[in-house]
């Protein structure tokens, strides 16, 4: 590899690190994203400049096809469907790494270093797991299949047997490399990916997406080692490390271990998803009544959730907050780490509506303020304010840190229906005497509420 290529790859690797740093804040996120994307483009172009490549037309056609698909998907995807797109793109990355490793295996023999063969086996297995698992997470989030855990008798036995078979075939590849064995290894990886995600339900799916993203990063890093490509090695390591860290942070935010999230359904501990609508009596009101509550408040805390994203009501909500602010009412947004369907979902959604970032308060920073709030306005959220996380040991979300909306003097829930949240359990806060429900589509209800506040 020429020195100039090594220097270019080094610069690209630095850009990847700077991009990750840029993504840590809203003011630098766009620049960081562009820096990372630019480095990736340069990394893809460089091999065409110094290598004598075969099948160049096919590679160019694949690049064009991928670029068109990526641009189209990024422009057309709705904010509510962002997690599904992330799952798909992540799965494609893992699958690509597995295919590259299979192709490289064809050129390896018994003379190849054992560590190289072990890295190849690792890439095939983990890449296949990431690909199949990501497809299942996509199907769950897109509601192409049930979001509830899917289990069957003997699942742990089948899963364990598949893991043992993978270990045996990996050892066989190291001792006697063969493409046929590699294909069997890939098929077992696909089966493990499906079996890994099927028992995961409801609100746990985004955490699995993060975990599979880390898997893909590790496979890309291993693939970079196989190919002798330092840039791939650095990029994959960054993705693997950040994905692992994010997975652990999200699991901590839910008050559960990663093992419980993955296998909790086998003993009834996974968040379930689905659930039937409750017919218990609740106190409801119209937009005019809620407007009066807000108008006489001095402190209001907004709790946004996935329902806000589905209704695309963030712009109307921001306008309502602006009107309240003009009247001297202090308003903040309380952001739960796992609100929505992916980390940062609410931050991005509200940033899209030009909400000042200073108004977005993380859970740990604002939880102590709820007791001083006159009104907690919950818009499309449910599980992240469900007191069952603190009071009901048998609940799937028990132990998950929640926003203390129940401590506010008045709680207003904007809900489409009485169906439970993504965890599939009732929210006792809905039935408390200080809670009022405003039923209807969040965007429609928010528009009516805004007009009612303006008319006061």
Q: Are 259 and 198 within 8 A, CB to CB? A: no
Q: How many helices (H) and strands (E) does the chain have?
A: 17, 6
Q: Are 188 and 241 within 8 A, CB to CB? A: no
**pLDDT class for 324, splitting at 50, 70, 90?**
very high
What pLDDT, in 10s, does the model give residues 80-107? 777 888 889 899 999 999 999 999 888 8
Of 99, 101, 132, the closest CA to residue 118 belongs to 101
**pLDDT class for 395, splitting at 50, 70, 90?**
confident
**Annotation marks residue 383 as catalytic:** yes
* Alpha-carbon distances of 242 from 26, 60, 230, 340, rounded to whole Å: 18, 31, 18, 20
What is the pairing mode between strands 410-415 and 375-379? parallel
**pLDDT class for 270, splitting at 50, 70, 90?**
low
Of 380, 341, 337, the closest CA to residue 83 belongs to 341
Q: Are 374 and 407 within 8 A, CB to CB? A: no
pLDDT of residue 339: 81
Mean pLDDT across the stretch 207-211?
88
- Least confident stretch, 76-80, 214-218, 289-293: 76-80
**Range ranked top by mean pLDDT from 162-166, 172-176, 229-233:** 162-166
User: Is the pLDDT assigned to residue 273 strictly greater than 60?
Assistant: no
User: Is the pLDDT assigned to residue 275 strictly greater than 70?
Assistant: no
d(CA 49, CA 32): 26
**pLDDT class for 144, splitting at 50, 70, 90?**
confident
The count of residues in the chain is: 456
What pLDDT, in 10s, does the model give residues 397-413? 777 888 999 999 999 99
User: DSSP secondary structure string, 96-149?
Assistant: HHHHHHHHHHTT--TTS-HHHHHHHHHHHHHHHHHHHHHHHHHHHHTTSS-SS-
pLDDT of residue 401: 86
* Residues of the chain by 3-state class (helix, strand, coil), percent to 5: 65, 5, 30
DSSP β-bridge partners for residue 333: 302, 360
**pLDDT class for 170, splitting at 50, 70, 90?**
very high
d(CA 231, CA 40): 9
Collapsing DSSP states into helix, strand and coil, what is residue 330? strand
Angle, to 10 degrees, between the axis of helix 230-253 and the axis of helix 205-227?
Answer: 160
What pLDDT, in 10s, does the model give residues 409-418? 999 999 887 7
Mean pLDDT across the stretch 233-252?
89
d(CA 290, CA 381): 17
Angle, to 10 degrees, between the axis of helix 114-141 and the axis of helix 155-175?
Answer: 150
d(CA 148, CA 10): 45
pLDDT of residue 277: 61
pLDDT of residue 9: 93
Mean pLDDT across the stretch 419-447?
85
Of 128, 115, 117, the closest CA to residue 162 belongs to 128
**pLDDT class for 333, splitting at 50, 70, 90?**
very high
What pLDDT, in 10s, does the model give residues 342-388? 777 788 888 888 888 888 999 989 999 999 999 999 998 888 899 98
Architecture in CATH for domain 287-455: 3-Layer(aba) Sandwich (3.40)
* Alpha-carbon distances of 36 from 12, 29, 189, rounded to whole Å: 8, 11, 30
User: DSSP secondary structure string, 342-389?
Assistant: STTHHHHHHHHTT--GGGEEEHHHHGGGGGG-SEEEEES--GGG-THH
What is this structure's pTM? 0.79
User: Is the pLDDT assigned to residue 125 strictly greater than 90?
Assistant: yes
pLDDT of residue 201: 73
**Residues sharing a CB contact under 8 Å with residue 295, sequence separation 6 or more, in sequence order:** 327, 453, 456
DSSP β-bridge partners for residue 284: 437
What pLDDT, in 10s, does the model give residues 10-26? 999 999 999 999 987 77
Task: Out of 52, 383, 441, 444, pick the active-site residue.
Answer: 383
Mean pLDDT across the stretch 410-432?
82
């Amino acid at each position: 590899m020429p020195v100039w290529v090594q220097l270019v790859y080094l610069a690209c690797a630095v850009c990847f690190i700077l991009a990750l740093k840029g993504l840590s804040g809203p003011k630098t996120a766009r620049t960081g994203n562009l820096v990372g994307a630019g480095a990736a483009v340069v990394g893809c172009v460089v091999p065409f400049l110094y290598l004598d490549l075969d099948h160049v037309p096919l590679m160019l056609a694949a690049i064009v096809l991928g670029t068109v698909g990526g641009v189209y998907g990024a422009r057309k995807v709705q904010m509510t469907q962002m997690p599904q797109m992330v799952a798909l793109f992540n799965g494609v990355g893992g699958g690509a790494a597995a295919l590259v490793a299979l192709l490289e295996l064809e050129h390896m023999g018994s003379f190849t270093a054992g560590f190289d063969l072990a890295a190849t086996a690792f890439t095939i297995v983990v890449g296949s797991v990431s690909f199949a698992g990501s497809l299942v997470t996509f199907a769950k989030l897109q509601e192409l299949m049930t979001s509830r855990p899917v289990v069957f008798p003997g699942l742990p036995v089948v899963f364990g047997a598949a893991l043992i078979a993978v270990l045996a075939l990996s050892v066989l590849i190291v001792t006697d490399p063969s493409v046929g064995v590699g294909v069997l290894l890939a098929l077992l990886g696909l089966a493990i990916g499906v079996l890994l995600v099927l028992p995961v339900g409801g609100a746990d799916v985004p955490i699995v997406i993060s975990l599979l993203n880390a898997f893909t990063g590790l496979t890309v890093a291993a693939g970079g080692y196989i190919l002798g490509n330092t840039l791939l090695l650095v990029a994959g390591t960054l993705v693997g490390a950040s994905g692992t860290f994010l997975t652990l942070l999200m699991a901590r935010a839910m008050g559960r271990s990663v093992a419980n999230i993955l296998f909790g359904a086998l003993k009834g501990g996974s968040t379930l998803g689905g659930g039937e609508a409750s017919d218990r009596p609740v106190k409801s009101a119209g937009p005019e009544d809620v407007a009066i509550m807000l108008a006489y408040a001095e402190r209001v805390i907004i709790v946004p959730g996935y329902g806000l994203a589905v209704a695309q009501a963030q712009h109307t909500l921001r306008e309502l907050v602006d009107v309240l602010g003009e009247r001297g009412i202090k308003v903040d947004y309380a952001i739960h780490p796992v609100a929505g369907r992916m980390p940062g979902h609410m931050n991005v959604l509200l940033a899209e509506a030009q909400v000042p970032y200073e108004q977005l308060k993380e859970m740990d920073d604002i939880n102590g303020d709820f007791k001083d709030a006159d009104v907690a306005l919950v818009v499309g959220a449910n599980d992240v304010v469900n007191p069952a996380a603190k009071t009901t040991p048998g609940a799937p979300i028990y132990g998950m840190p929640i926003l203390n909306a129940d401590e506010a003097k008045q709680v207003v829930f904007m809900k489409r229906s009485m169906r439970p949240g993504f965890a599939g359990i009732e929210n006792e806060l809905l039935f408390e005497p200080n809670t009022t429900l405003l039923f209807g589509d969040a965007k429609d209800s928010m528009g009516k509420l805004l007009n009612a506040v303006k008319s006061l």
